[in-house]
Amino acid sequence: MANVWVRILIGGLTMLVAIGYKNYRDLKAPGKRPDLDNNAYWGPALKEPYRENKAILPYDISVKPEVIEDLKSQLSRPSKAQAPLEGVGFEYGFNANELAKVVKYWRDTYLAKWTEREQYLKKLDHYQTEIQGLKIHFIHAKPTQVKGQKPKKVLPLLLMHGWPGTVREFYDFIPLLTTPSDKSDYVFEVIAPSLPGYGWSQGSSKTGFGVAQVAVVMRNLMLRVGFNKFLVQGGDWGSIIGSNVASLFPENVLGYHSNMCGNNSPLGQIKLVLASFFPSWFVDSQHASFYKGLGHMFSTILEEMGYAHIQASKPDTIGNALIDNPAGLAAYILEKFSTWTNPSFRSLPDGGLTKRFTYDQLLDNVMIYYVTNSITTSVRLYSESMVASQFALAVDSLPIKAKSGCTRFAHEIVHTSDSVLANKFPNLVHSTHHSDGGHFPAFELPQQLYDDFVSFVQKADLS
């Protein structure tokens, strides 16, 4: 199979020509909203017509003690891992020596204080409601006001994580959003759902549940909670689903802020290529270091996108390999918290995992995948979103009418410049570059993300 790279290259050429030809004429035309069923049913096959249970109920995230006991015993198996190659850190993926340390900590330290971790995860309020046949979990965090001061105006916010993240990423970020600060005229009422198929939210039983369809569910969730107009914030899939919400439902979105803005419209992709060849046409020289060109993008695809390739094509194979496999799950998930936080961490024997996170934080996140058994349903989002039928909806070609803010943290996987974003974000009122941070800023640098977000909201002038 050694020639697979070359074949990827060859395939790339052809598809690019095909895309170019197909889209040449209507590149700049604004897209048409696709016809999506806002009430589509995604649950298991029913014998009777579906009747949605519209109740919103508090949700208990407690884990049964026998699950913890079983996990302990699984983590107590003697390691059979092959030693890493000599002198290798994380360049070949998750280092087996570091994995042994993580497993030991998980078993002996983390699980020993599981009650405390569980209480920590419960400190925010968890709810569940049924949307389109799926039980959707979300955190609902209400803002506080300072006694004796003029109350800040409250804005609702839909806050979405990505893969392999969970709502756990937001535990330091949410309190900032709900607490009045000098930096903002607003406080936020936060709805942070587990994406469908992630964590405590049920996955679809039917095929065809990609980002646009998930966006419909997320918007319906906000309506259910009672918010007809709301802000959106997200990274990773949260960014893309949020972009779909804003594109499909302009009437509901007050503003869109993302730490991973992208433009996958045909024009956006062409500009991305041109920007790589002629960066000075597209990028302010001040931020040139953020935009590393096509060579960097290509090496990133080869070195860092294998997980996306297999998840988009064989999600159930990788899911079946990770289900009921805690050590493997930790390796698979935490590799991303190393490399995506800073690519230079690849050369470290421990992947720099604890440079920006604690094992407790990281294992909380892994635990949510493990106890909810959701890795298979989570990776199916790739196969349902990176597929012709989803691209055919052309949501990427719908401009986002809401005021938008795009922020970039230095070590994000790939950055997109304002000029490349332009046709997708005609109302880009806020664009920033941070010299620090990676793919998970809410988790890694919550204060910095908060400052950026409220700065966007001030500029957007939503009063």
Which residues 31-50 are close enough to bind its own copies by CB under 8 A? 44-45
Among 332, 425, 440, 453, binds its own copies (CB under 8 A): 332
Name the one range near its own copies by CB under 8 A: 6-14, 108-116, 117-125, 421-429: 6-14
- If 0-12 CB within 10 Å is exposed, 13-18 middle and 19+ buried, where does residue 45 land? exposed
Name the one range near its own copies by CB under 8 A: 24-32, 150-158, 378-386, 421-429: 378-386
Q: Which is nearer to its own copies, 178 or 377 (CB)?
A: 377
Q: Which is nearer to its own copies, 72 or 229 (CB)?
A: 72
Q: Does 99 bind its own copies (CB under 8 A)?
A: yes
Q: How many CB atoms lie within 10 A of CB 17?
A: 10
- DSSP 8-state class, residue 164: T
Which listed residue (59, 127, 171, 236) is catalytic? 236
Q: Does 6 bind its own copies (CB under 8 A)?
A: yes
Q: How far is the CB of 92 from its own copies (least distance, A)?
A: 4
* Buried/exposed code over 305-316 (b: 16+ C-beta within 10 A; e: otherwise): eebeebbbeebe
Q: Does 392 bind its own copies (CB under 8 A)?
A: no
Alpha helices in 24-143 (DSSP H): 65-75, 96-105, 114-121
Name the one range near its own copies by CB under 8 A: 13-21, 24-32, 54-62, 150-158: 13-21
Interface of this chain with its own copies, residues 101 to 160, rule: CB under 8 A: none
Among 198, 286, 327, 441, binds its own copies (CB under 8 A): 327
Q: Which is nearer to its own copies, 143 or 162 (CB)?
A: 162
Q: Does 58 bind its own copies (CB under 8 A)?
A: no
> 3-state DSSP call for residue 194?
coil
Those residues whose C-beta lies under 8 Å from the C-beta of residue 186, and which sit 6 or more positions away, are 152, 153, 154, 155, 454, 457, 462
Name the one range near its own copies by CB under 8 A: 21-29, 129-137, 186-194, 375-383: 375-383
Q: How far is the CB of 130 from its own copies (least distance, A)?
A: 19
Q: Which element (helix H / strand E) includes 409? A: strand 403-409
Which listed residue (439, 450, 451, 452) is catalytic? 439
Provide, for the chain, the percentages of residues in helix, strand and coil under a 3-state DSSP scheme, each rounded to the nearest 5: 50, 15, 40
Q: Which is nearer to its own copies, 181 or 205 (CB)?
A: 205
- The answer to whether the beta carbons of residues 196 and 214 sit under 8 Å apart is yes
Q: How far is the CB of 439 from its own copies (least distance, A)?
A: 11
Which listed residue (110, 198, 382, 450) is catalytic? 382
Q: Does 321 bind its own copies (CB under 8 A)?
A: yes
- If 0-12 CB within 10 Å is exposed, 13-18 middle and 19+ buried, where does residue 14 land? exposed
Count of residues interacting with its own copies (CB under 8 A): 97
- In the numeric block, the tokens 């799950």 are attached to 329
Interface of this chain with its own copies, residues 174 to 213, rule: CB under 8 A: 203-207, 211
Give the integer Cα–Cα distance in Å for 310 and 329. Answer: 15
Binding mask 279-298 for its own copies (x = CB under 8 A): ---------------xx-xx
| Angle ∠(271,397,256) on CA atoms, nearest 5 | 95
Interface of this chain with its own copies, residues 225 to 264, rule: CB under 8 A: 236-237, 240, 262, 264
> 3-state DSSP call for residue 234?
strand
Give the integer Cα–Cα distance in Å for 290 and 419. Answer: 14
Q: Which element (helix H / strand E) includes 159? A: strand 153-160
Q: Does 389 bind its own copies (CB under 8 A)?
A: no
Interface of this chain with its own copies, residues 68 to 87, rule: CB under 8 A: 77, 79-87
Q: Which is nearer to its own copies, 227 or 291 (CB)?
A: 291
- The answer to whether the beta carbons of residues 214 and 243 sit under 8 Å apart is no
Q: How far is the CB of 153 from its own copies (least distance, A)?
A: 34
Q: Does 315 bind its own copies (CB under 8 A)?
A: yes
Q: How far is the CB of 350 from its own copies (least distance, A)?
A: 14
Residue of 37, 53, 43, 252 lying closest to 158 (CA atoms): 252
Q: Is 382 a catalytic residue?
A: yes
Rounded to the nearest 10°, the torsion over CA 419, 294, 263, 365 is -120
Bridge partners, residue 56, by sequence? 129
Name the one range near its own copies by CB under 8 A: 120-128, 153-161, 172-180, 320-328: 320-328
| Angle ∠(198,414,344) on CA atoms, nearest 5 | 95
Q: Does 373 bind its own copies (CB under 8 A)?
A: yes
Q: How far is the CB of 99 from its own copies (least distance, A)?
A: 6
Q: Which residues are catalytic?
A: 236, 382, 439
